[in-house]
């Protein structure tokens, strides 16, 4: 039996729970994922389409679908935080790992679209690691 995880957006308007039952976990370095997240990669968990219970704020979500490509994103209409969404095919619920309040039991399966990984990200992985802002 899997444990229940909670999640939500940064401002707290949207909250949800789901079972820690993920099929895949990818770090995606493609250009679209970088643009959608504003970061070096997306960190997406894949689970069953019905593995979510919205506790509050589902009506405060906005879905973006690219008009000519097969990708989408859902975010809080108040703070912009990435939130779980159903793929266009309906086959998976995509859960941005950063939207979870607890660590998922699944570790990443792969880093995908690494040919599109930025040089600044590659070099950044070599930078010193700090617990907070530099002194």
Instruction: Dump pLDDT digits (tens) for 77-116.
Output: 999 999 999 998 899 999 999 999 999 999 999 999 999 9
**Could you tell me which of 105, 13, 107 has the C-alpha nearest to residue 55?**
13
Q: How far apart are CA 7 and CA 32, in angstroms?
A: 24
Residues present in the chain in total: 135
Q: How far apart are CA 4 and CA 2, in angstroms?
A: 7
pLDDT reported for residue 58: 95
Give all strands of the β-sheet with 82-83 in edge-to-edge order: 61-65, 72-76, 82-83
- Averaged pLDDT of the chain: 94
Residue 70 has pLDDT above 80, yes or no: no
Residue 94 phi, psi dihedral angles, 5° rounding: -95, 125
Kindly state the percentage of the chain with pLDDT values over 70: 99
Kindly state the percentage of the chain with pLDDT values over 90: 86
61 pLDDT band, cuts 50/70/90, is very high
Pick the CATH number of 4-117 from 2.70.98.30, 1.10.8.620, 2.170.150.70, 3.90.1300.10: 2.170.150.70
- Angle of CA points 23, 104, 117, to nearest 5°: 75
User: In this structure, what is the dihedral angle of CA atoms 99, 12, 33, 51, given to the nearest 10 degrees?
Assistant: 50
- How large is the average pLDDT for residues 33-56? 95
- How large is the average pLDDT for residues 11-16? 98
| pTM of the entire predicted model | 0.93
């Amino acid at each position: 039996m899997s444990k229940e995880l909670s999640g939500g957006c940064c401002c707290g308007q949207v909250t949800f729970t789901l079972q820690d039952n993920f099929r895949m976990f990818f770090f995606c370095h493609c250009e679209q994922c970088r643009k959608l997240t504003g970061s070096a990669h997306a960190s997406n968990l894949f689970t069953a389409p019905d593995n979510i219970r919205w506790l509050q704020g589902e009506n405060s979500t906005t879905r973006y679908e690219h008009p000519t490509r097969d990708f989408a994103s859902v975010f809080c209409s108040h703070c912009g935080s990435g939130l779980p969404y159903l793929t266009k095919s309906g086959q998976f619920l995509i859960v941005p790992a950063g939207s979870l309040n607890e660590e998922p039991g699944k570790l990443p399966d792969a880093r995908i679209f690494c040919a599109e990984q930025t040089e600044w990200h590659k070099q950044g992985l070599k930078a010193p690691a700090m617990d907070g802002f530099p002194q």
